[in-house]
Amino acid sequence: MIRIATPEDIPVLHALVLELAAYEKALDEVVASEAQLAQALFGDRPAAYAHVATADDDGEVIGFALWFLNFSTWRGVHGIYLEDLYVRPERRGGGHGKALLTELARICVERGYERLEWSVLDWNAPSIAFYESLGARPQDEWTVYRLTDSALAGLGGAKP
C-alpha cells in the first residue's frame, strides 16, 4: 500500500534515510535531523513531499519516496524530482518501489507535470536495471554539479 507520509512517520522516515545512506556508502554525510525532516515536509512552507510504502500484512512502513517540484523552462510546467526512493532490502521484489514510482507518475499525469526525474549512482546496477525496465532512460549528456560546504559559503559570501 502507498500513502502520503504523515508527521507520525518522521522517525521511520529518518531511519530509512539513514539506511539508504548506508547502502550508498555515505552514512557519514547525513547530518539531517528528524526535526529538519519534519520542518521540510510539514512546516509552514513545505519544501518536499513524501509517500510511504507499507507492508501488506501489518502496515509497517518499509519504504519511501521523497520528492519536490522542479520546473522546466523548455516545457513551461512543473515536474517532480525524486530525491530518494528506498525500500528495505528484505522487502524488495514485492512491487513496493514500482508502486511508489507509479504513484509519482500518476501525480505528474493528474497535475499536468511533464517530467519525473531522479539520479542514480552509476554503480547501482540493480536500481538502473529496475528503472530501465519501467521505461526510464539515462540522461547521459548531462553532468550534475554541486556546491556544498566551504565552496558554497565562499561563493555565497562573495561580494559582486
Q: Which of 49, 86, 113, 131 is catalytic?
A: 131
Per-residue DSSP letter, 37: H
Q: Say what the pLDDT of residue 2 is.
A: 97
Q: Say what the pLDDT of residue 158 is.
A: 67
Give start and end residues of each alpha helix (H) in the chain: 10-23, 34-42, 96-111, 125-133, 149-156
Q: Say what the pLDDT of residue 160 is.
A: 54
Show the CA angle centred on residue 20, arms to residues 95 and 52, nearest 5°: 45
Q: What is the pLDDT along the chain (160 residues), one digit of tens a residue?
A: 999 999 999 999 999 999 999 999 999 999 999 999 999 999 999 999 999 999 988 889 999 999 999 999 999 999 999 999 999 999 999 999 999 999 999 999 999 999 999 999 999 999 999 999 999 999 989 888 989 888 988 999 966 5
Active site residue 131: yes
Q: Say what the pLDDT of residue 43 is.
A: 97
Q: Say what the pLDDT of residue 149 is.
A: 84
Cβ 35 vs Cβ 44: under 8 Å: no
Residue closest to 19 by CA, chosen among 87, 95, 119, 94: 87
Q: Model's pTM, two decimal places?
A: 0.92
At 141, list the grid cell. Answer: 549528456
